[in-house]
């Protein structure tokens, strides 16, 4: 680290909406600290080695002779906390309907392919994944049900069986988790799964995309254009291409309609689909906020007017969809939902992205209430919720700053729709986690070989890695989506919904605009033949043609720029330098050159993730310079928003004018 | 605006723009209006940038007042521009209802527009050779120039500089995606920093108002074309729209209001 870098080490990472304050979720961190943490990973070396092997072998998580769709080949097991707490036995009994069902399936040929890890076989506090597996003769290679079944359901809260155990186990196994506060909910969930798998529940084969978008909010603006839109397009192509069972309908809600009342209809209401994918902010609360435990991870809806109008005020319950919005009359039975949102699945006790390990963000780790409510609903629950523990980052759907990567999501959704057990479908997510861990290992190796260390690169890789790790299943990992032909009458019955709208994307804008051309020249001459014959309008026509050309050029440029701003500019960078030789300062290839020192940086990316490097002087933050920098950030955000509005208006105005001329 | 200085307070420079034009929104003087500019900012000029420079006097209060007045002027201009579609809608409604107001009864921009259209239509009916004269070819050039300038702002990055009492205090590059790169001179205090922040706001707002002006001309073109009775005269909608928007921006009442604000 140079001395200049020493002065430039404060970094913050934020994501999601801090519902306690109405601002973006924002906590200080240093880039050196993140990099240092990445260099000394909290994960044990064995786990890293395993991830690398998993990635390099390109193997499936389960042994290749077992079909992931067949539980009698893959096995199924349930992990309870160890010990003789009578409550655990009561929970086990409440789940008996599901356990009996799985025993019948997984143990059909080999009884030991069904396992209950309970009592002395259960999870002991502090036991590592490797120690747990070794106890049963399992190794780091593919999951072999001869030792430990491939599908593993953890039953317990994340304080008792930590998220870290789940993440580690998930690398080669298909893992899910349930935890409820009442026995009735366990029993209800068990019955829901069994009913669904016995064909007593169907849902129309419909995938609904629900993506909010506030135009002054970079997070949702880009998640709507770089995640929801391309994902919907790709899945639509797959469904229309015959790759899936007939009758699938893909519905993308216009973002204007992604309001809370619509989610009420989609999550147990009249429009409940078989599969729902949401992309939005997750509500996050400060530790100590009375709403944190019951509302953290609730889904922010379009009812929130956006950060510009609202950011300095606490978020209202009307702005988000929380557990209590799923009423007792709702019927989420049989559905599966995927929530791309911060804390959508759960919250760890400590910040996963903070170097300061003592920094607590919650009184204890907990699962989000919304998935719990959906799964344990008294009238029958959803089969599973896929969500994110801690903050969800835009790294999930983009890479290299500007390029989108939705393949992982597409593959996962495709397999769910193709009725793979949800745990097997999630292997694409796990593969990405392994891939990123490998990238960190390769980076470390190259540094050892003499490469100049780059803390930004290392910190970026580390954060991507943590992000990819934290997608989890709330529910039984062996559940499959239930779907029927839209016309099939079954419980629950809902009317099939056709595709009603397309979210505006840069490509859609381009497509709509392309047919608009200047008036056909021949037609134009027919309109004014006499005048042309007399040479009447010669100067007028020349001028008009010149203007038409200029308008067309400007129209093309506007389209390109708007497309670039919406699609490519996945982040907004604001950099602040100081110089004692201002005359030497120049701008070249996207960077300031000359006698400058970089003192502060803010990068706001797709879903509101913010990286901030704060200036320090003499070990303390340079508050004056920080204030100046913050002013630049505010101005840059305002400018970006205005630019998008103006470009959109210009596009519409120019197209209309060309039609007239 | 800056009587004590040989340079104007606000300068604009773009190497691609070689034709003479009026200053931008009445605030920024282009290089052809100020010979010394190219010399002053030669170190900053590149073909891929548009340079916006504020030469502020050493008096902090005076410097602030220049910037505040400029920003306020742009805000008012934008408000006025936004009124264009509704004013034209109102005019059309009145014409559709056949209300017989004389031209002189109307606001000056609307009166000029109707006069322009009436003359054009009359001459078109008579197949007059003189009709082409109604289209001032300079308007076409000016409008093309505006489009060119706006297009350049998409192609080029904005290079914004602030000098305070002849001391260069900050430079900012704003690229097409909106990223900000700012260099500040060491030892700057908050009030000086605020000056550059406002210069930046002024430059970007100017660009935005310029774009809004073109958008409004485009929208006015569509609306004015509906006022024309003959397809022969349809091409006149654009120059008519340009003249109309220009008249609104130059409305004496608006200018008086802005001058009053400045004081």
At A484, is the pLDDT very low, low, confident or very high (cuts 50, 70, 90)?
Answer: low
pLDDT of residue A650: 77
More confident site: A283 or B23: A283
More confident site: A631 or A13: A631
Query: CA A420, CA A374: separation in Å to the nearest integer?
Result: 21
Model confidence at A400: pLDDT above 80: no
At A224, is the pLDDT very low, low, confident or very high (cuts 50, 70, 90)?
Answer: confident
Kindly report the nearest CA distance between residue B60 and chain A, in angstroms.
18
Report CB contact under 8 Å: B193, A631: yes
> Which one of A549, A580, A657, A661 would you mutate to disrupt binding with B, by most B Cβ within 10 Å of its Cβ?
A657
Q: What is the maximal distance between C-alpha atoms in chain B?
A: 72
Report CB contact under 8 Å: B127, A528: no
Identify whether the C-beta of residue A293 lies closer than 8 Å to the C-beta of residue A265.
Answer: no
Helix (H, G, I), strand (E, B) or coil at A232: helix
The count of other CB atoms within 10 Å of the CB of residue A310 is: 19
pLDDT of residue A97: 93
Q: Among all residues of chain B, which has the CA nearest to that of A595? A: B183
Model confidence at B18: pLDDT above 80: no
Q: Among all residues of chain B, which has the CA nearest to that of A623? A: B190
Residue B165's nearest CA partner among B60, B34, B25, B30 is: B60
Kindly report the nearest CA distance between residue A573 and chain B, in angstroms.
5
What number is the average pLDDT over the span B115-120?
77
Q: Are strands A398-399 and A275-279 parallel, antiparallel or unpaired?
A: unpaired
- Comparing CB atoms, the residue among A530, A560, A653 nearest residue B215 is A653
Residue pointed to by tokens 């003479």: B20
Q: By the CB < 8 Å criterion, does A182 face chain B?
A: no
> Which one of A534, A646, A651 would you mutate to disrupt binding with B, by most B Cβ within 10 Å of its Cβ?
A646
The beta strands (E) that lie in A584-643 are given as 586-588, 591-593, 597-605, 610-614, 616-617, 620-621
pLDDT of residue A2: 33
Model confidence at A486: pLDDT above 60: no
At A91, is the pLDDT very low, low, confident or very high (cuts 50, 70, 90)?
Answer: very high
Query: CA A35, CA A455: separation in Å to the nearest integer?
Result: 5
Contact residues on chain A for B186, CB-CB shorter than 8 A:
578-580
Report CB contact under 8 Å: B197, A558: no
Report CB contact under 8 Å: B132, A560: no
> Which one of A527, A540, A549, A576 would you mutate to disrupt binding with B, by most B Cβ within 10 Å of its Cβ?
A540
Model confidence at B114: pLDDT above 80: yes
Helix (H, G, I), strand (E, B) or coil at A44: coil
Q: Among all residues of chain A, which has the CA nearest to that of B209? A: A646
**Per-residue three-class SS string for A270-336:** CCCCCEEEEECCEEECCCCCCCHHHHCCCEECCCCCCHHHHCCCCCCHHHEECHHHCCCCCCCCCCE
Report CB contact under 8 Å: B127, A531: yes
The count of other CB atoms within 10 Å of the CB of residue B4 is: 8
The count of other CB atoms within 10 Å of the CB of residue A619 is: 7
Report CB contact under 8 Å: A579, B184: yes
> Which one of A7, A587, A612, A623 would you mutate to disrupt binding with B, by most B Cβ within 10 Å of its Cβ?
A587
Query: CA A616, CA A632: separation in Å to the nearest integer?
Result: 18
Contact residues on chain A for B173, CB-CB shorter than 8 A:
587, 592
Report CB contact under 8 Å: B208, A573: no
What number is the average pLDDT over the span A385-414?
80
More confident site: B91 or A25: B91
Query: CA A51, CA A55: separation in Å to the nearest integer?
Result: 6
Task: Express each pLDDT in B28-82 by its tens digit.
Answer: 877 554 433 322 333 444 567 888 899 999 999 999 999 998 898 888 888 888 8
Q: Among all residues of chain B, which has the CA nearest to that of A582? A: B185
- Percentage of chain A lying above the pLDDT 70 cut: 71
pLDDT of residue B36: 32
- The number of C-beta contacts closer than 8 angstroms across A and B is 202
End-to-end CA distance of chain B: 12
Report CB contact under 8 Å: A639, B174: yes
- Percentage of chain B lying above the pLDDT 70 cut: 65
Identify whether the C-beta of residue A52 lies closer than 8 Å to the C-beta of residue A437.
Answer: yes
Highest averaged pLDDT of the listed ranges A179-193, A538-552, B235-249: A179-193
- Comparing CB atoms, the residue among B178, B182, B218 nearest residue A640 is B178
With left for phi above 0 and alpha for psi between -120 and 50, is residue A630 left, alpha or beta?
Answer: alpha
User: Could you tell me the two tokens for A464?
Assistant: 């991507």
What number is the average pLDDT over the span B154-168?
88
Kindly report the nearest CA distance between residue B240 and chain A, in angstroms.
12
> Which one of B120, B148, B178 would you mutate to disrupt binding with A, by most A Cβ within 10 Å of its Cβ?
B178
Report CB contact under 8 Å: A660, B221: yes
- Percentage of chain A lying above the pLDDT 90 cut: 33
Query: CA A305, CA A503: separation in Å to the nearest integer?
Result: 18
Q: Among all residues of chain B, which has the CA nearest to that of A581? A: B185
Model confidence at A263: pLDDT above 80: yes
CA gyration radius, chain A: 27
Mean residue pLDDT of chain A comes to 77
Measured in whole angstroms, the distance separating CA A141 from the mean position of its chain's CA atoms is 29
Contact residues on chain B for A564, CB-CB shorter than 8 A:
176-177
Cis peptide bond prior to A492, omega within 30° of 0: yes
Contact residues on chain A for B218, CB-CB shorter than 8 A:
551, 650, 653-654, 656-657
What number is the average pLDDT over the span B97-106?
54
Report CB contact under 8 Å: B179, A573: yes
End-to-end CA distance of chain A: 61
Q: Are strands A591-593 and A616-617 parallel, antiparallel or unpaired?
A: unpaired
Query: CA A634, CA A62: separation in Å to the nearest integer?
Result: 50
Q: By the CB < 8 Å criterion, does A521 face chain B?
A: no
Contact residues on chain A for B238, CB-CB shorter than 8 A:
544, 547, 657, 661
pLDDT of residue B170: 94
Contacts of A612 (CB under 8 A, 6+ apart): A10, A11, A12, A26, A28, A600, A601, A602, A603
Report CB contact under 8 Å: A635, B185: no
Q: Is the dihedral of CA A628, A633, A638, A642 positive or negative?
A: positive
Contacts of A105 (CB under 8 A, 6+ apart): A71, A72, A76, A114
Task: Express each pLDDT in A576-615 by its tens digit.
Answer: 999 988 888 888 877 888 888 888 888 876 555 666 777 6
Model confidence at A431: pLDDT above 50: yes
Q: Are strands B49-56 and A597-605 parallel, antiparallel or unpaired?
A: unpaired
Report CB contact under 8 Å: A560, B237: no
Contact residues on chain B for A544, CB-CB shorter than 8 A:
140, 235, 238
Q: Among all residues of chain B, which has the CA nearest to that of A630? A: B197
Model confidence at B19: pLDDT above 50: no
Query: CA A298, CA A16: separation in Å to the nearest integer?
Result: 11
> Which one of B51, B52, B161, B177 would you mutate to disrupt binding with A, by most A Cβ within 10 Å of its Cβ?
B177
Highest averaged pLDDT of the listed ranges A146-150, A620-624, B78-82: A146-150
Lowest mean pLDDT of A53-62, A432-441, B120-129, B213-222, name the range: B120-129
Identify whether the C-beta of residue A353 lies closer than 8 Å to the C-beta of residue A42.
Answer: no
Residue A15's nearest CA partner among A450, A347, A508 is: A347
Report CB contact under 8 Å: B222, A564: no
């Amino acid at each position: 680290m140079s001395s200049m870098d020493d002065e430039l080490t404060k970094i913050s990472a934020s994501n999601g909406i801090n519902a306690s304050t109405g601002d973006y979720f924002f906590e200080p961190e240093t880039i050196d600290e993140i990099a240092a943490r990445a260099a000394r990973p909290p994960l044990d070396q064995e786990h890293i080695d395993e991830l690398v092997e998993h990635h390099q072998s390109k193997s499936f998580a389960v042994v290749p002779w077992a079909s992931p769709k067949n539980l009698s080949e893959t096995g199924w097991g349930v992990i309870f906390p160890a010990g003789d707490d009578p409550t655990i036995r009561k929970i086990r009994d409440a789940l008996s309907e599901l356990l009996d069902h799985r025993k019948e399936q997984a143990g059909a040929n080999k009884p030991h392919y069904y396992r209950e890890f309970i009592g002395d076989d259960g999870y002991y506090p502090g036991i590592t994944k490797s120690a747990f597996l070794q106890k049963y003769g399992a190794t780091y290679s593919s999951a072999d049900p001869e030792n430990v079944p491939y599908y593993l359901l953890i039953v317990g809260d994340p304080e008792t069986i930590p998220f870290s155990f789940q993440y580690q186990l998930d690398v080669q196994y298909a893992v899910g988790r349930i935890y409820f506060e009442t026995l009735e909910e366990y029993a209800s969930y068990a019955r829901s799964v069994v009913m669904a798998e016995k064909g007593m529940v169907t849902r129309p084969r419909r995938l609904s995309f629900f993506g909010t978008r506030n135009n002054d909010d970079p997070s949702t603006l880009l998640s709507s254009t770089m995640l929801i839109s391309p994902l919907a397009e790709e899945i639509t192509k797959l469904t229309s291409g015959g790759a899936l069972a007939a009758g699938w309908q893909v519905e993308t809600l216009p973002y204007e309609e992604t309001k809370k009342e619509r989610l009420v209809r989609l999550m147990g209401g009249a429009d409940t689909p078989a599969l729902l994918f949401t992309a939005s902010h997750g509500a996050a609360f400060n530790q100590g906020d009375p709403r944190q435990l019951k509302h953290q991870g609730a889904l922010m809806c379009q009812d929130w007017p956006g950060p510009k109008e609202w950011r300095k005020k606490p978020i209202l319950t009307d702005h988000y969809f929380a557990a209590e919005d799923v009423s007792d009359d709702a019927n989420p039975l049989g559905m599966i939902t995927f929530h791309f949102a911060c804390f959508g699945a759960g919250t760890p006790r400590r910040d996963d992205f903070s170097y300061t390990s003592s920094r607590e963000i919650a009184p204890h780790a907990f699962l989000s209430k919304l998935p719990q409510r959906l799964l344990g609903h008294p009238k029958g629950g959803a089969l599973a919720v896929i969500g994110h523990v801690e903050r969800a980052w835009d790294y999930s759907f983009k890479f290299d700053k500007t390029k989108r990567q939705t393949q992982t999501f597409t593959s996962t959704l495709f397999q769910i729709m193709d009725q793979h057990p949800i745990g097997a479908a999630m292997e694409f997510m796990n593969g990405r986690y392994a891939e990123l861990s490998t990238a960190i290992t390769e980076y470390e190796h190259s540094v050892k070989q003499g490469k100049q260390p780059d803390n930004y690169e290392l910190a970026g890789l580390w954060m991507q890695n943590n992000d990819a790790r934290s997608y989890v299943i709330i529910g039984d990992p062996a559940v499959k989506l239930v779907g029927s032909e839209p016309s099939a009458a079954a419980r629950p019955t809902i009317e099939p919904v056709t595709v009603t709208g397309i979210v505006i994307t840069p490509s859609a804008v381009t497509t709509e605009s392309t047919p608009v051309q200047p008036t056909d020249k021949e037609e134009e001459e027919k309109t004014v033949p006499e005048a042309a014959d007399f040479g009447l309008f010669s100067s007028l026509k020349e001028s008009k043609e010149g203007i038409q050309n200029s308008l067309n050029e400007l129209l093309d440029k506007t389209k390109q720029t708007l497309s670039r701003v919406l699609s490519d500019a996945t982040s907004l960078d604001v950099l602040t330098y100081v110089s004692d030789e201002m005359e030497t300062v120049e701008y070249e290839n996207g960077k300031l050159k000359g006698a400058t020192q970089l003192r502060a940086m803010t990068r706001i990316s797709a879903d509101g993730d913010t990286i901030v490097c704060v200036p320090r002087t003499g070990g303390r933050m340079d508050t004056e310079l920080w204030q100046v920098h913050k002013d630049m950030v505010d101005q840059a955000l305002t400018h970006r928003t205005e630019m998008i509005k103006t470009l959109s208006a210009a596009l519409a105005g120019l197209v209309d004018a060309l039609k007239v001329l | 605006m800056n009587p004590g200085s040989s340079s104007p307070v606000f300068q604009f420079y773009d190497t691609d723009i070689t034709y003479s034009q009026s200053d931008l929104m009445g605030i920024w003087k282009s290089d052809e209006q100020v010979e010394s500019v190219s010399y002053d900012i030669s170190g900053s000029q590149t073909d891929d940038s548009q340079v916006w420079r504020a030469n502020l006097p050493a008096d902090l209060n005076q410097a602030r007042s220049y910037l505040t007045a400029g920003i306020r002027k742009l805000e008012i201009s934008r408000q006025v521009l936004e009124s264009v579609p509704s004013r034209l809608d109102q005019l059309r409604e009145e014409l559709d209802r056949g209300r017989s107001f004389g031209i002189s009864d109307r606001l000056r921009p609307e009166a000029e527009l109707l006069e322009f259209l009436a003359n054009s239509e009359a001459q078109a009916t008579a197949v007059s050779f003189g009709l082409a004269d109604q289209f001032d070819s300079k308007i076409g050039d000016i409008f093309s120039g505006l489009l060119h300038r706006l297009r350049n702002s998409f192609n080029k990055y904005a290079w914004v500089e602030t000098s305070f009492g002849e001391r260069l205090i900050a430079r900012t590059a704003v690229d097409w995606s909106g990223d900000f790169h700012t260099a500040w001179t060491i030892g700057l205090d908050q009030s000086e920093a605020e000056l550059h922040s406002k210069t930046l706001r002024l430059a970007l707002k100017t660009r935005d108002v310029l774009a809004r002006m073109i958008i409004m001309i485009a929208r006015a073109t569509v609306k004015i074309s509906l006022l024309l009775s003959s397809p022969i005269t349809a091409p006149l909608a654009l120059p008519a729209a340009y003249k109309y928007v220009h008249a609104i921006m130059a409305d004496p009442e608006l200018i008086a209001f802005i001058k009053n604000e400045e004081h």
